[in-house]
Structure 1
C-alpha cells in the first residue's frame, strides 16, 4: 500500500494525468509548521509566516512549532543551539551548502574519486605560480559564494589568471571538463525528485538555465543518481540541487545549491512540497487513487 505522498509515484501520477495537482490535500497534517520564506512554501500545508528579522519577537511561536521551514543562514545557530528547533533544510544542507570551499573539502575527504581536479589557494604570487605548475589552460575559476552560473569564468592564459586573482582573495581553481552539458539532480528529503540535462547554448561555456542553458529531458545515467544519493546521505543533505558532469561514463561532482529553482520540476510545486512533507512527517496512506478531474 503506497503512500499518497511518495514523491516518485506522485510525480508519475501528475505527469500521466491520473492525478490533478489541485486534489493534493493541504490540511490535516499532524505537525505545526512555521516558515521564514513565504514564497518558497506556497505549495506547502498552511504554515505561520514570520519575517526572519522579527524572530526574536516571536520566540513562543517558534518554540511551539514542530518544524521551521527555510530560515536564513544567519538564524541557524540561534535556532539550533539556542532554541533547540528542528529546521528544514537540514543543518548539513546549510553548512556544507554555504560555499564551494565547505562542500569541496568534504568531497575531497570522503569522495575524492568523484571530484574533478580542484585547488583552493590564496591569491599570493606563490599560489599563482603553484597553479601554473599544477593546471593547464584553459581552466575554470569560481567565486567562493555564487550560484546560477554567476562568478564562474573560463581562463585561457596567465594574464587572465593574474587579473582574476587581483579581485579575489581566495582562488578556487578547477580543471576544465570537456562537456557541453551537465545534469541537475533535485534531491528533496531522502530521494531524487527530478533529474535532467542542462545543455549550454551554442558557443557558450555555462550550462545553467539562468545563463541561457536549455533543459533536455534525455535519460540520466543511473550512476549519476546513485552518486547523488550516496553523497547526500553521507553528509546529511536533505534539500539541494546537485550539478553533476558526466565524462567517460563517470560522474563528477561540480557543486550543490541548497536553494534552487522549482519552475522546471516535473510535477511542479505541488510535487516538490509533497516530497518535502513526506520526508518531514508521517504521511497519510490512500488505498485508492483520487479520480482525475473532469476535462
Structure 2
C-alpha cells in the first residue's frame, strides 16, 4: 500500500501481512520516524499495535487504536487487574495484596494453608506462581515478592482459556494440569483439550471483556463447585491452543482487520 494512501497504520509488526494496513515498525523515539511517517501517524484513521510507548499519547489525541489503551495498560499487571475485577464485581478467587512487613504479618489471619502466591508483575507462563503449604514456603515467597499477592487455592485439575478479539470469541479451549503440578500452563507441562467449553464460561469472558474494555485478551477461567471464576487476563497469550486446533492466529487477526471488525 502506498504510504500516501494509508488510512490504517500499524506500529508493531503483527499486521505486516495485512494488505490494508501499512506497517511502520517500532522505534524508541518519535523523532526516529521521518517527517512523512510522523504525518502518517497523525492522519491515519486507525492505528494498530501502537505499543505502550505510543498508546497513551495517541489516545490523548483522540486516535482510534487497537488494542485499546485500557488493554495495553493492564497487560502483565495482576494487581491492576485484580483491583479492576473486584471493583466490577467479577467473580474471582478471594485475593488480597499486602504491602510492607506489617501488612504481610496478616496473611495467615486471612488465608489458611494451602494458598496460591504470585509474583504480581512481569511474570507469565506459570512462572512466579506458587502453591504455599507451610510457613517456610511462605517465607521463601515473601523474600522475593513485593508486594505480596495471595489468592485462595481452588483444587482444580483443569481450567479454560477464552481468547477474545474485539467483541468476538476467536478460540476457547481447556488446559489440563500435569499430574504433579497444580498449574495448567502448557509451558509448565499442562496439556490442551479441545472439548467444548460451558456457555457460562464464554458468557463470563465476553461480559468481563466488555466491562473491562479489553479488546485483545485471553481470560483464564475455571469452574469450581458449579461456579465460574476468572483468574487473570492475558494480553500476550500463547499460540499453543491455536496450533492444537489447526488455527492460525495471524490469519484470524488479518481477516478481522480486513473485514473492518477490528
TM-score category by the smaller chain? Answer: 0.7 to 0.9
Q: Within 2, Cα distance between the matches of 1:60 and 1:137? A: 58
- Using the TM superposition, give the Cα deviation of residue 31 of structure 1 relative to its aligned residue in structure 2, in angstroms: 6.7
Residue of structure 2 equivalent to 1:142: 118
User: Per the alignment, in what secondary structure is the counterpart of residue 195 of structure 2?
Assistant: coil
Between 1 and 2, higher relative CO (CA 8 Å, sep ≥ 6) is seen in 1
Aligned to 1:271: 252
CA separation of 1:143 and 1:214: change in aligned 2, threshold 3 A: same
Deviations 1:7-59 (A, max 9, x none): xxxxxxxxxxxxxxxxxxx9xxx972222221x22443342222231433342
Conserved 8 A contact 2:92-2:229: yes
State the Cα distance separating 1:255 from its structure 2 match.
0.3
Is 2:109 the partner of 1:133?
A: yes
> Which of residues 175, 194, 202 is equivalent to 2:152?
175
1:52/1:71 contact within 8 Å kept? no
- Count of residue pairs brought into register by the alignment: 249
| Structure-2 change in CA distance of 1:159 and 1:185 (3 Å) | same
Q: Which residue of 2 aligns with 1:101?
A: 79
Match of 2:26 in 1: 51
TM-score in terms of structure 1 length: 0.78
1:17 aligned partner: none
Supply the RMSD in Å over aligned alpha carbons. Answer: 2.1
* Pick aligned residue for 1:187 from 164, 183, 199: 164
Structure 2 length-normalised TM: 0.87
Which residue number corresponds to residue 42 of structure 2?
63
Matched with 1:74 is 53
**Is 1:41 aligned with 2:21?**
no
Q: Which SS does the other structure have where 1:178 is aligned?
A: coil
Question: 2:181 maps to which residue?
Answer: 204
Unaligned ranges ≥5, structure 1: 1-25, 282-295
